[in-house]
Amino acid sequence: MVQRTFLVVGLGNPEEKYNNTFHNVGFAAADRFAKLIDAPFDKGECRAITAHKKTSVGKVIIAKPITYMNLSGESVRELVNKYKICQPNFIVVYDDADLPTGKVRIRKEGSGGSHNGMKNIVDNLGTQNIYRIRVGIDRPKTEGFALMDYVLSKIPDEAAKELDSAYDVVACALKDFCDGDDIDAVMRKYNHK
């Protein structure tokens, strides 16, 4: 069996003040996956904090870029080049304001939409052919609450419960993906949840 190297990237902002904000949902999902496979974040490389784990099918690298959200693609490009990651072994996890809170959607390709971090990854890699897991955060319910301010706001308790369940779904989907399951099979299994 050919050994494969998988790269899982969770998007967020690095400073402590951004912990538990909607825009750091990707970091939180990456943390949950790392815990599931017992891979500690103990390395700094390519402007990211990474966790490495050897598996039966090869190696998993989980990365949280510390470039700040809007420049995530620079770190991702460095990681992809360093580890010679090919497309079928690479997936990004991030928050999506166009999905209801806690809804998980896996896609094989597409633009970055309104998400600046994903847009920057698409620009840096020069392709929309990037697997991604989008975790719904919904849009602000308060009139006049700008999306930019909303995504950087703290997650209220009710939404936190829904997102906590979503992180479990994401972690299981990522485990299946990194165990070598075909992306279509992963999508069939998890997109309806």
- Is residue 130 within 8 A of residue 122, CB to CB? The reply is yes
Query: Contact, 45 vs 7, CB < 8 A?
Result: no
Q: In whole angstroms, what is the distance from residue 143 CA to residue 162 CA? A: 23
Question: Which one of 23, 52, 115, 192 is the catalytic residue?
Answer: 23
User: CA-CA distance, 115 to 113, in Å (whole number)?
Assistant: 5
Give dist(CA 180, CA 186) in Å, integer.
Answer: 10
Q: Which of 148, 172, 190, 193 is nearest to 36 (CA)?
A: 172
**Among this protein's residues, is 23 annotated catalytic?**
yes
Report the catalytic residues: 23
